[in-house]
Amino acid sequence: MPYELRDIRKSFGDLQVFAGFSLDFPPGKVTAVLGPSGCGKTTLLNILAGLIAPDAGELRGLGDARFSYVFQEPRLVPTLSALENVELVLRASFGTGERKERALRLLAAVGLAEARELRPRQLSGGMRQRVSLARAFAYPADILLLDEPFQSVDLRTRIGLMDSFLDLQAADPRTVVFVTHEVREALYLGDIVVVLSDKPARVLDRKELLLPRERRSYGSADLSDVEAALYRLILG
């Protein structure tokens, strides 16, 4: 059964973000949400996670769901090692041995096995974000929320981070809601791409991407028609 938002309304004072907004998120799929800055993408994630409540509307299938959140910045604890940062989210769910084994396995999956004892200040920006991805997948969440986590690094590092995410997702599929304003990122990562309007946000389009991921590389012409259509939609 998909996770759903139905007829959601949310305002902050006189600013109306959602007015009768509905969207569903299929289990085990990556839903990439595109939209202009300030349209409500982060508010959408926060409503899904239960961090803020809608003014009206219904959340279906989300009551008992567990969430992991990957932010634009890594948000690591500076005094803890990479390994300890990943283990931190597992303390309530696993014993010491299983917690460490799980954290080490996820760090190895993102290429940081040799950096496990390093503190965040000793890691590059891309490495810190890899730790945050490992931490998000280490926690046994049903839904993974990504708030533009690849924006603060160069293109080569960004693609490497996205490839790490895809490897983790392939090994342990989660329901993922990924918000971005980058069309190519949405096409690279998404199983489904949703385009939102400006406030109050509404769904302008919803596309299911059937092209294999190996044919969605940056610079590939295979998605040029879809990419152009999305740009036309976004730009009006």
| Residue range 3-65+142-235, CATH number | 3.40.50.300
pLDDT of the residue at 217: 77
**The one-letter amino acid at 212:** P
**In the 8-state DSSP scheme, what is residue 152?**
T
Q: Hey, is 208 helix, strand or coil?
A: strand
Q: Which of 58, 46, 60 is nearest to 7 (CA)?
A: 58
7 CB neighbour count, 10 Å cutoff: 13
Q: Distance between CA atoms of 223 and 159, rounded to whole angstroms?
A: 17
- The percentage of residues in the chain with a pLDDT greater than 90, rounded to a whole number, is 67
pLDDT of the residue at 169: 93
150 confidence band (pLDDT: 50, 70, 90): confident
pLDDT of the residue at 218: 75
What pLDDT, in 10s, does the model give residues 182-205?
A: 898 999 999 999 999 998 999 999
pLDDT of the residue at 2: 79
pLDDT of the residue at 234: 81
| Angle, CA of 48, 51 and 57, to the nearest 5° | 50
For the chain, what is the mean pLDDT? 91
Calculate the alpha carbon distances from 123 to 17, 71, 128 in Å.
37, 17, 6
Decide which of 219 and 23 is more confident: 23
Q: Distance between CA atoms of 195 and 32, rounded to whole angstroms?
A: 9
What pLDDT, in 10s, does the model give residues 24-49?
A: 999 999 999 998 888 999 999 999 99
Beta bridge partners of 12: 15
133 confidence band (pLDDT: 50, 70, 90): very high
Query: Which part of the chain has CATH 3.40.50.300?
Result: 3-65+142-235
pLDDT of the residue at 233: 84
What pLDDT, in 10s, does the model give residues 49-103?
A: 999 999 999 999 998 899 999 988 889 999 999 999 999 999 877 788 888 999 9
pLDDT of the residue at 179: 94
Q: Are 179 and 146 in contact (CB under 8 A)?
A: yes
pLDDT of the residue at 193: 96
pLDDT of the residue at 181: 87
The sheet with strand 67-70 has its strands ordered as: 67-70, 143-147, 175-180, 30-34, 192-196, 203-208
Sign of dihedral through CA atoms 105, 109, 112, 118?
A: negative
How many secondary structure helices (H) and strands (E) does the chain include?
Answer: 7, 9
pLDDT of the residue at 37: 86
Q: Distance between CA atoms of 200 and 197, rounded to whole angstroms?
A: 7
Q: Distance between CA atoms of 110 and 85, rounded to whole angstroms?
A: 14
* pTM: predicted TM-score of the whole model, two decimal places: 0.90
Please determine, for residue 155, whether its predicted confidence score (pLDDT) is greater than 90.
no
Q: Distance between CA atoms of 134 and 88, rounded to whole angstroms?
A: 12
pLDDT of the residue at 96: 80
